[in-house]
A and B are shown apart, each in its own frame.
Chain A
Amino acid sequence: MKQINLARWTERNLKYLLLVPTVVLLLGLTVYPLIYAVIASLHTINIRTGEQSFVGLKNFIAIATDKQFWNALKNTAIYTGVGVTLEFFFGLGLAVFLSNRLVGRNVFRALLLTPMMLPPIVVAVIFKIIYIPDFGIINWLLGLVGIKGIIWEASVKTALPSLILVDIWEWTPFMFLILLAGLQAIPLDPYEAAMVDGATQFQMFRHITIPLLIPAILIALLLRLMDTLRIFDQVFIMTGGGPANATETMSLYIYRHGFRFSNIGYATAMSFIMLVLTVMISNFFINRLKAEEVFTQ
């Protein structure tokens, strides 16, 4: 009797039971850290004694006038904006190209996906070797065609672009993969109908492919944005934020205060701001996605 009850109860509440583990884990990962962050951001720790004292919003006020914070924010914005945009266009181009019939298509696809599978730290190491101005392979190759003396991640002017280039190399494949999958999921009928109407290739791309690809585009951009905004590994290994702060990103600046200077309060206050910014940016995409979802349902 009892057993039947339990079974029935389980069946009735199945929809909640299935959600429990996920919700618990994610709550653990977000709620406690969030509370911790709120409290820590209102405190400051004395580096000489380890004592904590309440300082109210002082950390936030200090951040507002911290030039290095704004510099880090600017660099992160440029890195994300330029990087993700270029990754998107390159990824889209490749995806369209490789959705065509081509002998050996699968081999090319697999090879093109390699960069995103590498540990970011290995990627940083590879480019560190490649970029060395005097002995690096890339300057040698460029020297063959008469371009000389680029100092890549070492000069103020080229440091950030050099890092963005690495990001593009590593993550265009991700864009490519999601967009390719999106392209493959588009049914053939609309194209057939359009062909009958005599539409050109470009018209079909513009009016059929792109609109149907929107969900894939949104998801790809959203995931990349969230990841790029917190870029850390490559910058940490390749430049450490230099030269002259030209590649200091938000994550790096927060890390520096949190781990190297033991300014946990200041670091969490900054992470808080970063979180709010990320949520705002992501919300734009999420709202579009929600709209799409309503539309498709």
Chain B
Amino acid sequence: MMKKLGKYVFIVLVTLLVVFPVIWLISTSIKYPVDIFAVPPYFIPPHPTSEHYSVLFLEMDFLEYIRNSVIVSVSTVLVAIVVGTLAAYSLARFKLPHNLNTHLSFWVLSTRMFPPIVTIIPLFSMLRAVNLVNTRIGLVVAYTAFNLPFVVWMMRGFFAEIPKDLEEAAMVDGYSRMAAFWSIIIPLAKPGIIATAIFTLIMSWNEFLFALILSQTRVAATLPIGVASRVTQYEILWGQMSASGVIALTPVLIFAFMVQKHLVRGMSMGAIKG
């Protein structure tokens, strides 16, 4: 009994430690500037205010950042999942010549090693050549390319888990390869797809450096850029900064809570089993 209680005390403490900074952020976002640095600190603000939020939405057009972020990350997820899943299926199911299965897989993974700092200037030139600088499409292209290694690697693992007999049986029944893939394999790999999608979503929602260089105006700038715009040189915008942080993390948190089960289950099917 004692041992069990100890376990709970331990996990509750760890969880508090992990969650505390987030709670502090939320609390800061509803404080007046004078209260933010009060000593001793207020855990619950004495005079809560929604001022910072209204500034962000009314004066800073935060809705536009949110709109861009939603469009960019959702499109990235869709494109990356479709493109990456197809490639992963090929790598997992077919025998390619020259042991390409292994080589290609690792080559795909290795593209993740490129420091973004190396790719960013050439990428800017490339996107400029096709007039995609400062567009959401440009960001989607860049993010898709960045998330592909992860998607391919994860999905390859999932497909390897699914017995080959299933589609072979279907093909004997007259299904084409793609039809079998679509109606048999995809449903089985669903948890994996969901887990991968969540990761891709988080990555593109949070990405900062590329958005900073590739998006210049509100036409394309995403939420992290909006958050960074509150980190100003002089003025103390701790309140607005925190509020923008809360805005950026809320959707991800809600989403993560909804799909948390899939995340662990999906992951345990996939990548890690190689």
By a beta-carbon cutoff of 8 Å, the part of chain A in contact with chain B is 11, 14-16, 18-19, 21-23, 25-26, 28-30, 32-33, 36-37, 94, 97-98, 100, 102, 106, 108-123, 125-127, 129-130, 132, 134-135, 137, 140, 169, 173, 177-178, 180-185, 215-216, 219-220, 223, 226, 229-230, 232-233, 237, 250-251, 254-255, 258, 264, 267-268, 271-272, 274-275, 278-279, 282, 286, 289-290, 292-293, 296
- Which single member of B123, B245, B263, B274 contacts A29 (CB below 8 Å)? B123
Which residues of B have CB within 8 Å of A130? 21, 24
User: CB distance A177 to B209 under 8 Å?
Assistant: no
What's the Cα separation between A220 and B267 when bound, in Å?
12
Please name 10 further chain A to chain B contacts, defined as beta carbons within 8 Å, in addition to the given A29-B146, A117-B206, A137-B41, sorted by A numbering.
A22-B84, A97-B11, A113-B256, A119-B205, A169-B21, A178-B272, A185-B273, A220-B272, A254-B115, A286-B106
User: CB distance B18 to A169 under 8 Å?
Assistant: yes
Which residues of A have CB within 8 Å of B241? 125
User: CB distance B113 to A112 under 8 Å?
Assistant: no
> Closest B-chain residue to A285, C-beta based?
B109
Q: Could you list some 13 contacts between A and B, CB below 8 A?
A: A14-B178, A33-B114, A33-B122, A97-B10, A114-B22, A117-B202, A117-B252, A119-B206, A135-B36, A135-B41, A184-B268, A219-B271, A254-B117
- B30 at interface by CB-CB < 8 Å: no
Which residues of A have CB within 8 Å of B93? 15
Chain B 11-52 near chain A by CB (<8 Å), digits 1 or 0 = 100110011011011001000000011111100000000000
User: CB distance A129 to B122 under 8 Å?
Assistant: no
Listed from nearest, the 5 A-B pairs whose CB atoms lie closest are A181-B267, A135-B37, A15-B94, A22-B87, A181-B268
> Closest A-chain residue to B150, C-beta based?
A223
User: CB distance A233 to B177 under 8 Å?
Assistant: no
Q: Quick check: which of B55-63, B131-139, B182-190, B222-230 contacts chain A, the rest being far away?
A: B222-230
- Which single member of A117, A279, A289 contacts B274 (CB below 8 Å)? A289
User: CB distance B268 to A26 under 8 Å?
Assistant: no
User: CB distance B208 to A290 under 8 Å?
Assistant: no
- For the residues of A in contact with B, the DSSP-based class is helix
User: CB distance B268 to A29 under 8 Å?
Assistant: no
What's the Cα separation between A135 and B123 when bound, in Å?
42
- B96 at interface by CB-CB < 8 Å: yes
User: CB distance B86 to A117 under 8 Å?
Assistant: no
